[in-house]
Structure 1
Amino acid sequence: MKKPLKFPDFKDEDKAADWLDKTDFSDHLEPSDLKKINLPNLKSTKRLISLRVEESLVEKAKQKAVKLHIPYQTLMRQVLHRGLEAI
């Protein structure tokens, strides 16, 4: 077994997902160390909104999402999130 890794407490799924995406587990875990965990206290913080955008923008997002094998709404949410973090 390699050095142990402490999992932080997360307030929502997006923060947990970001941390999991950015963390390199290869220094901390062997495949035999893995076990299933539950995150019962996390609630989705997503809210439905209406946003008018050009059809060409939606089509472009759909095309890129197909290449990335993700739903286009997920891609647009990621782009919005990254854009807001950048400003």
Structure 2
Amino acid sequence: MPKFKPVPKFRSEDDEREFWATHDTTEYVDWKSARRVQFPNLKPTLRTISVRLPEHLIGGLKALANERDIPYQALLKQFLAERMREEWRHRRAA
């Protein structure tokens, strides 16, 4: 079994990023024994965008969201996510 170099202690994340950008991880980590890990509580990074929508569409979203007792922006995100999944499913099937 190969001997791995010890991972140094870093003063900051920037120092660590710079180190890993210039060093091969296989000299420091035994990737053959690595296991896949899931982080279920991580929230996706959100980015604010501006979309111009017709008043009637916003009114309809607000009405539907009110029936479901959720903010209309959350409902819009759900609709977009559902449609994206549907589009990707069709692309994979084609």
Interval of TM-score (by shorter of Structure 1 and Structure 2): 0.5 to 0.7
- Find the counterpart in structure 2 of residue 59 from structure 1: 59
CA shift, 1:43, in A, is 4.2
TM-score, scaled relative to structure 2:
0.49
Extract unaligned runs of 5+ from structure 2.
1-36, 88-94
CA shift, 1:48, in A, is 0.3
Which of the two has higher C-alpha Rg?
2
Q: Match of 2:54, as an amino acid?
A: E
Tell me the number of residue pairs that the alignment of Structure 1 and Structure 2 aligns: 51
Q: Match of 1:46, as an amino acid?
A: L
CA shift, 1:45, in A, is 1.1
Q: Choose from 9, 12, 15 the match for 2:38.
A: 9
- Find the counterpart in structure 1 of residue 27 from structure 2: none
- Find the counterpart in structure 2 of residue 75 from structure 1: 75
Q: Match of 1:65, as an amino acid?
A: A
Residue by residue, what CA displacement relative to the aligned partner does 1:52-81 show, whole Å, maximum 9, x if unpaired?
111101000000000000000000010011
Q: Which has the higher contact order (CA 8 A, sep 6+)?
A: 1
SS of aligned partner of 1:50: coil
SS of aligned partner of 1:70: coil
- Find the counterpart in structure 2 of residue 48 from structure 1: 48
Q: Measure, in 1, the Cα distance between the counterparts of 2:68 and 2:46.
A: 22
Residue by residue, what CA displacement relative to the aligned partner does 1:34-59 show, whole Å, maximum 9, x if unpaired?
xxxxx4xx244111001111110100
TM-score, scaled relative to structure 1:
0.52
Q: Measure, in 2, the Cα distance between the counterparts of 1:72 and 1:53.
A: 13
How high is the sequence identity, in percent, across the aligned residues?
Answer: 37
The two structures, once aligned, show a CA RMSD in angstroms of 1.7
